[in-house]
Every structure is written in structure tokens, then in C-alpha cells.
Structure 1
Amino acid sequence: MEEPKKENKHLDHYYEDSEIDTYFSNNKVKIPVTEKSGFNFRKLWAFTGPGFLMSIAYLDPGNIESDLQSGTVGNYRLLWVLFGATVLGFIMQSLATKLGVVTGLHLAEMCHRQYKRIPRLILWVMVEIAVIGSDMQEVIGTAIAIYLLSNVPLWAGCLITIIDTFTFLFLDKYGLRKLEMFFGLLITVMGITFGYEYVVSGPNSMDVVKGLFIPMCKDCDSKLQAVGVIGAVIMPHNLYLHSALVKSRDIDRKNPERLKEANMYYYIESAIALICSLIINIFVVSVSGVEYLIAFQSEQLNEYVDADIYKGGIFLGCAYGVAALYIWAVGILAAGQSSTMTGTYAGQFAMEGFLNLRW
């Protein structure tokens, strides 16, 4: 006898709301049906995408610059802070994922239903300010990368970035999976370019591992930078983004088994994506730790020169040749362009959810 399908009656009042047209309503990815239960790579592939788009926020130019500064100030000794912040980020992203999967509503839509008008509008303004603040550094970071590659002025680079962002976002008109593949390509570019810089700079691998797993930095002036690492990694608007992106999969939310399955695959995908972002961040911190500490520390004054993505490219070009400069710039360009696109999505989802708009 076939077992009757269980239902989440306490969530039934959300299902009708989730049927309202949203951005992904006509563009959802189908999940393959398999006879056998348990882990399946085809299903994992079907769920793969939202986590990697989310992980872009962990790799934006602001994060890269924070990595450079933490490397110059603390060498490898702040890597454990980066690791801990990434783990904390995974926990928070998993909660956002679960909200979107189980209710069919992303975080901004849920806030619209749970909060009264005044606090809801205040929260919306705060989220949009966070998105704008992140987008500013992402656009400027991309413009710096364009300047390193072609000497185009920063103001022109900002305009190019804005135009490119909306141009690339039109890729989803040809299918959401194509857009996700494009983001995967950009993450791959970042991994290759920053990995190249790691190899040519040759940091001590044992010191990197110790810095990653052993909390330290006693008697060093890096407490403020440690807080900066946490702030750069964990971004509030990314929770709104991730909880919305998971709605792009066609999930039967009235079937508890399908919900449990979706949550499991999303957890796995998010973990893989954040591991990739952590490795890329480790590359950047390690490069700055081994090189900037030598190049910018004054033996007489015991002072550090502030590190940024522009100085990072120039130094690498001087130390390892012009190829290192261009490879660095390509990595920053990929980081800036991809994060600007996801920031645009985050702002769109926040505005639509908090104000109950359907565009």
C-alpha cells in the first residue's frame, strides 16, 4: 500500500503567496526524479548554482582589499579569523536557504509579511544602503582593474562597469543556467589568476596552515583588521540574495521529503562554493603576507604602508613581471564584475520583497 503523502499544514498559508509571479516563476530549473533514494550527482548538479552566485559576495574587491590589508598587518596570523568568518557565514547562509526552500518566500518577502509598515520601511532602507555601499566598492574595484589593464580613467571604467553589468544580466533571458555558468566561469578565472599569484610568490605552506587553524596574533596591532575581515566576509544583503536564489528550483514544497532533499543538496552546494571562496581568499592573504611584509615595512619606523588592489597589482608587476600585473588585474576584474551583478540582484530582490512589487 502506498504511504499517504505528508503535508506541512502549518505552512499552507505561505503556499498561496509563493504562487504569485516572482522573478524566477517562468524560469525555474527542473529537478530530476530518481527511483532510488539517497545522494545523487544529477540532483546535486540541478541544485548547483545559487550557492556559487551567493559566494561571489565573499570574493568582491572589498574582500580582496581586506585580504591584502590583513596580510600586510598580520602576515598569515589572521587566516583563522577568515576561516571562522567563512564558517559563520555558511551557518547564516544555510538559514537563509532553509527559509526560501521551506516557505517559498525569500527574506525580504517574509519581512513584508511579518513586520509592520514603519519598521519594514526602515529595514528596507538599511538593506538598500548596505547594497549601495557594497556596490560602490565593487564598481570602483572593477574600474581599477580596467585601469590596470588599459589605462582607462576611473570615471570611464565606472561607466563601462555599469553598462557591462546590465548587459551580462540579460544572459538570464536565455536561461538561468547560462547565467549561472557565466558566474562559474568568473569564479574559475579568479581561482586561476589568484592561484597563479600564490604559486609565483611561494609562501611557506606550513605557516599558512598554522595561520588557518591556530588562533594567534598575540601582541600585534591587528585587532581592528580582524574585525574588518569579519565585516568584509559577512554581508547582510547576501542573506536576502541567497534566500531568493533558491526559489529558482522547481520544488514541491508540500512534500516534506522533497523539502528535506532540497535543503540537503543546498547545504552541500553552499559548502562547496564557500570552500572555493575561502581558498581564493587564502591565496590573496598569503601573497600579501609574504610580499608586502617585506616590501612595505620600514625597518627604521616600523610602519606599514596601506595595501590596496591597485598597489597590489603594481607591486606584483614590479616583483614578477608585467604578466603578474595583468593576471592580477584580470582576477580583480572578474571579482568586481561578478559581485556588481549579484549586488544588483540583491537590491532588486530587497525592493520587490519589502515593497511587495512584482516587476
Structure 2
Amino acid sequence: MEQASEMGEIGREARHEGGKDEEFRVQPKWRKFLAHVGPGALVAIGFLDPSNLETDMQAGADYKYQLLWVILVGMVFALLIQTLAANLGVKTGKHLAELCREEYPRFVNICLWIIAELAVISDDIPEVLGTAFAFNILLKIPVWAGVILTVFSTLLLLGVQRFGARKLEFIIAAFMFTMAACFFGELSYLRPSAGEVVKGMFVPRLQGKGAAANAIALFGAIITPYNLFLHSALVLSRKTPRSVKSIRAACRYFLIECSLAFVVAFLINVAVVVVAGSICNAGNLSPDDANTCSDLTLQSTPLLLRNVLGRSSSVVYAVALLASGQSTTISCTFAGQVIMQGFLDMRMKNWVRNLITRVIAIAPSLIVSVVSGPSGAGKLIIFSSMVLSFELPFALIPLLKFCNSSKKVGPLKESIYTVVIAWMLSFALIVVNTYFLVWTYVDWLVHNHLPKYANALVSIVVFALMAAYLVFVVYLTFRRDAVATYVPVSERAQAQAEDGTGAQAVAAAAAADHPAPFRKDLADASM
């Protein structure tokens, strides 16, 4: 009796989805596109967070336009892999963390979960420090006191979000784009050399001490591992019918939406680098401004906007910086929920989840801000962005393998050209990261003054960690997928779904197949 009742329920759901498929096909294209707007915008808004602002300004101040090519390559790579993440969610009805839990042994899953959580925490550190700098500018309090206040500001934000998340996000986005408009206004005032900008964007160079480290930090700030988990989950909050035609259409709409959002984010990041490069490398800098540019932090950024905003530059910038930190906090919280639910099948209240992540992120932020002040806090933001770059392969490799696996997506594999390009860029990233780690450590080993036995012990630990890093990367790369999660739609249901006839017949034929991947647990996602 229970089985018959369950089959009846499945049949009703299938008929409902068949009707949805029919309704999806007759909608005009612009309405279909608007129904898919949101996930890419939420991911792209992370490109305007404090970590991106800090790394962009440091790159511009120290190397002028030399590292613009890193932003271009990073954005193209980000668009490529974020599109793959969105497609994976649409095609499988599951997000990346859930697929990892089903595919890998428990020990590997625990390791991947820890690395993903560290990525969320690493990305939350710049949000803590960015918010602390905003409080420092607005309230004239020390940075370390602003760090402590970030606990209460975030909980207040999550509380206010209950009364209208979309309105709150609209206000936050308005402040952030106000800051972006200020940088564009400053850009038009400075009128930088177009030839130098184009050269910096299309001629790869890494000249000067620290250029490689800054490039890795830029790359890590643009491509964050948790965004791959987040994007593959956000697309499940849209009701995508199960026919191949509808799935491919949804993937196409998500690509368009993501591309538009990423182009805007790319232009804003370029504007920040060019403004910082133009002002800090000008020949008529005063001694005070030159000293500020030599160690540019989020606290001293109003220097870059005073041509447009004058004396009000500090207040406008601080409010926009505060909004930037809070908006990314929302996406970090939701990404953390997705990661925990996917890898461990556990759920936690938003405020509890945010409080745990924030307290862990506050510890290093508070120590550095007390010991080293604003300068040390700025360096910590750069360091946390570098950590994100090193953690990226552990989310990226499973994504690339699943996207081209018959056991995960069946016949809906990605183009071989797309996959090859993504693998080549991923391999290049791993090689650069490994080279930078070895070079940095050897340089430190040569110039430190520790006793020989201490250097030997440190070397053993460091090279053991490097070996573990590479072994884990190789394991994820060459391990064959063992678990088949793709369930094909029956050929008869498929044929009827494609020609748009017989919604009830389609539902009846597909009743034994998997339901549409719409996820009620993700329906209330931000944006």
C-alpha cells in the first residue's frame, strides 16, 4: 500500500514537471533568460570584495599596469570554470560537494571538506579586515577594535536579512557600484595612456621582486574555490525541465548571465588597478602620498578617489567598503552551508554557521592588526588570497573530471575543446604554485639565521607538506570515477519532450526516472 502511494506521488510530481516543461517551451526567450538571472551575479559580486580591492591596489601601486594580464587571464579562466560548475548542477541535479561525497572514500571527503572550509575562512579574513578598515575610517577607532565589531555587524546583517533579503542586497549592491562609479570617474579624470594599459593587458610580464607573489594573490582573489561549490548549488534553485533541449537552453542562459556579470566585474577590477597605477606612479607625488603608495592598504584608498570626491572620499569609500564586506559575508555563509551539507550531509542555522566561520577568521586578523597594525592587515589580505590560489585545485580537479564523465552527466559532456583548455590552465596554475612554493622556501632558507638543525627540521616538515600536496593532486587527477549517478531519461519520454507533444504521456513515461533537480532547500538562496 505504501509503495502504491509513493508511486502515485511520483506520478503526480512527474505530471507537474511535464507541465512545467510545456510551460518552459512556450515562454518568450527574454522571460526564460530573466528566470535564470541571479547565480552568476552573486558569484561575480565576490570580485568586488575587500580582497580583490587590496590585491588590485597593491598590483597597481607596485607594478603600474604590468599585471593587468593576470586579471584578464583570471577572469577568462573564472568564466570558464564557473560556467562548468553551473552546467554540472543543471545536468546532474546535484551540486559539486554532493557529487564528491558520493564519489570519493570517506577519508578523501573529509580532507576535501577541510580544504573547502579553509577556503571559506581564507576568504572571510579579507571581509573581516575590510569591514574593520571601514569602521576605522567612519568611527575613528583602531583597526583591532573594528575587527571585534565585525562579529556583531554580521549577526545584525543576517538578522535584518529576515525582513527582506532582496531589498538588503539591492542596497548593498548600490553602495558597491557607487564605489565602482567613483573609480571610473577617477579614471576619466586621470586619462592614463591607452597604449600602456593595452600592453599591460596583453603582454605577460613578471618583472620585479614580489611580482610573482602578487600575481598569484590576484589570481586567488579572482578564482575562489568555494565559488565553484556555490555556483553549482545556486543553479538548482531554478526549475529546469528534464529534457536535453531544456537543459542545454538553461546552460546557455546561465552562460549569458554569467558572462555579463563577469564583464562588469572585469572592468571594475581593471579600473582599480589603472587608477592605483596612475596615481602612485605619477612623477609629481608629494612625500606623504609617496609614502602612502609605498604601502597602500584599504585604509589609505581614499587617496585614490579624492580627485572625484574631494573631502567626502573617505566617507563614501568607507560605506561602500562596509557594504562590500557584508555582501561577500552573505555568499560565504551560504557557500559554507552548501559545503557542509554536501560533504557531511549536515545542516546548521545561518547565524551559527556565520558565527563559527567569523570567530575563526577573526583570530589571525586580530593578532596581526594588534601586532603589525594596518600595514600587517593589508599583507594578511594578500596572503589569504595566495592561500585560495593554492587550494583551488582541490575543487577544480573534481569539477573538470565530473563534467566530462559519462557516469556523472551521461551524454551531456562538455566540449572536448573546453575541457582541454580548462585542464591546461589548471595544470599551469599547479606548476606555478609549486614553483613559487619551492622558490619562496629556498629563498627563506638561504637568508634566515636559524641554526642548521632547525633548518633541517623545518625543511623536513615543509617538503613533507609539499609532497602531500602533490600526491593529493595526482590522486584526484588520475583516479577513475567509480560511482555512476547519471540516470538517463527514457527514450520515449525524451522524444515526446523534444517535439513538445503530450505532457501527460511524457510524465507517465518519465515517472520511473529521476525528478527535476529543483531543490527546495536552495530556493531561498540570496539573490
Of residues 70, 79, 82, the one that matches 1:81 is 70
Determine whether 1:117 maps to 2:106.
yes
State yes or no: 1:226 paired with 2:228: no
Q: Provide the residue aligned with 1:262 in structure 2.
A: 250
**Residue 340 of structure 1 pairs with residue 329 of structure 2:** yes
- 1:96 paired residue among 85, 104, 115: 85
Q: Does structure 1 residue 191 correspond to structure 2 residue 180?
A: yes
Match of 1:33 among 16, 24, 43: 24
Match of 2:368 in 1: none
Alpha-carbon distance, 1:314 to partner: 4.6
Aligned-residue identity in percent: 35
Look at both structures and tell me which one has the larger radius of gyration over its CA atoms. 2
How big is each residue's C-alpha offset from its partner over 1:259-278, in whole Å with a ceiling of 9 and x where there is no partner?
A: 00100000111111111111
- The reply on whether 1:45 has 2:34 as its aligned counterpart is yes
Deviations 1:238-275 (Å, cap 9, x if unpaired)?
101111111110111x2111100100000111111111
Which residue of the partner structure matches residue 459 of structure 2?
none
On the 8 A contact 2:97/2:343 being kept in 1, the answer is: yes
Displacement after TM superposition at 1:228 (Å):
1.7
SS of 1:33's equivalent in the other structure is: helix
Q: Does the Cα contact within 8 Å between 2:54 and 2:298 map onto a contact in 1?
A: yes
Structure 1's 220 and 265: CA in aligned 2 closer, same or farther, altered over 3 A? Answer: same
Amino acid at match of 1:344: T
Post-superposition offset of 1:123: 0.8
Q: CA deviation at 1:208?
A: 2.4
Shift in CA distance, 205/42, structure 1 to aligned 2, threshold 3 Å: farther
- The answer as to whether partners of 1:193 and 1:331 remain within 8 angstroms in 2 is no
> Is the deviation greater in 213-222 or in 346-355?
213-222
Is 1:146 matched with 2:138?
A: no
Shift of 1:184: 4.7
Q: For residues 131 and 183 of structure 2, what CA distance do their matches in structure 1 show?
A: 16
CA-CA distance at 1:331 after TM superposition: 2.8
The letter for the 2-side match of 1:323 is S
Matches of residues 175-254 of structure 1 in structure 2 within 5 Å?
A: 181=170, 184-185=173-174, 187-216=176-205, 222-252=211-241, 254=242
TM superposition shift of 1:126: 1.0
Counterparts in 2 of 1:135 and 1:221: CA distance versus 1, 3 Å? closer
Look up the equivalent residue of 1:163 and give its one-letter code: L
User: Is 2:39–2:234's contact at 8 Å kept on the other side of the alignment?
Assistant: yes
Given the alignment, which residue of 58, 82, 90 partners 2:47?
58
Question: What TM-score do you get using the length of structure 2 for normalisation?
Answer: 0.56
Task: Choose from 155, 167, 172 the match for 2:159.
Answer: 167
Contact map agreement 2:50 2:127 (CA 8 A) in 1: yes
2:270 corresponds to which of 282, 287, 291: 282
C-alpha contact (below 8 Å) 1:135/1:340 kept by paired residues:
yes
| SS of equivalent to 2:46 | helix
Instruction: Give the SS at the match of 1:76.
Output: coil
Which residue number corresponds to residue 351 of structure 2?
none
Partner residue of 1:272 out of 248, 256, 260: 260
Tell me, in whole angstroms, the C-alpha distance in 2 between the residues paired with 1:307 and 1:64: 11
Q: After superposition, what is the alpha-carbon deviation per residue over 1:120-175, rounded to whole angstroms, capped at 9, x for unaligned? A: 0111011111101111211220221232233254145413432244135435xx5x
Amino acid at match of 2:69: W
Return the match for 1:293 from 276, 281, 297. Answer: 281
Please say if residues 147 and 157 of structure 1, whose CA atoms lie closer than 8 Å, have aligned partners that are also in contact.
Answer: no
Query: Which has the larger displacement, 222-231 or 62-71?
Result: 222-231
Q: Higher helix share goes to which structure?
A: 2
Q: Counterpart amino acid of 1:154?
A: G
Contact 1:61 1:335 in 2 (8 A): yes
**Which ranges in structure 1 are unaligned for 5 or more consecutive residues?**
1-15, 20-28
Deviations 1:46-91 (A, max 9, x none): 1110001011222210111000011012101211111111100111
Q: Which has the higher contact order (CA 8 A, sep 6+)?
A: 1
- Length, aligned pairs only: 325
Q: Which residue of 2 aligns with 1:3?
A: none
What is the alpha-carbon distance in structure 2 between the residues aligned to residue 233 and residue 329 of structure 1?
22
After superposition, what is the alpha-carbon deviation per residue over 1:161-211, rounded to whole angstroms, capped at 9, x for unaligned?
32244135435xx5x766765565455334323323433444334432332
In structure 2, relative to structure 1, the CA distance for the partners of 1:168 and 1:113 (3 Å cut) is farther
SS of 2:122's equivalent in the other structure is helix
Give the drift of 1:303: 12
Quickly say closer, same or farther: Cα 1:146–1:32, change in 2 above 3 A. farther
Once structures 1 and 2 are overlaid, which stretch shifts more, 332-341 or 176-185?
176-185
Contact 2:128 2:147 (C-alpha < 8 Å) held by counterparts: no
- Mapped partners of 2:304, 2:269: distance in 1: 18
Distance in 2 (alpha carbons) for counterparts of 1:323 and 1:297: 21
Residue 86 and residue 225 in structure 1: after superposition, are their counterparts in 2 closer, same or farther (change >3 A)? same
8 Å CA contact retained: 1:139, 1:161: no
Q: Is the 8 A contact 1:96 1:239 kept in 2?
A: yes
Once the 2 structures are TM-superposed, how far is the Cα of residue 327 of structure 1 from its aligned partner?
A: 2.6
Structure 2 stretches lacking a partner, 5+ long: 1-9, 14-19, 349-527
SS at match of 2:294: coil
1:134 lines up with 2:123 in the alignment: yes
Q: Conserved in 2, the CA contact under 8 Å of 1:197 and 1:328?
A: no
- SS in structure 2 of the partner of residue 339 of structure 1: helix
Q: Equivalents in 1 of 2:293, 2:320: separation in Å? A: 25
Closer/same/farther in 2, CA of residues 156 and 349 from structure 1, 3 Å limit:
same
Aligned to 2:97: 108
Instruction: Sort the Cα spacing of 1:191 and 1:154 in 2 relative to 1 into closer, same or farther, 3 A.
Output: same
* Mapped contact 2:62–2:294 kept (Cα < 8 A): no
CA drift of 1:219 comes to: 6.3
CA distance in 1, matches of 2:286, 2:247: 54
Assess, with a 3 A threshold, how the Cα gap between structure 1 residues 31 and 343 changes in structure 2: closer, same or farther: farther
- Aligned residue for 2:523? none
Q: Deviations over 1:294-352 (max 9, x none)?
A: 38798xx9997222111222564499622222232233223211111111111111011
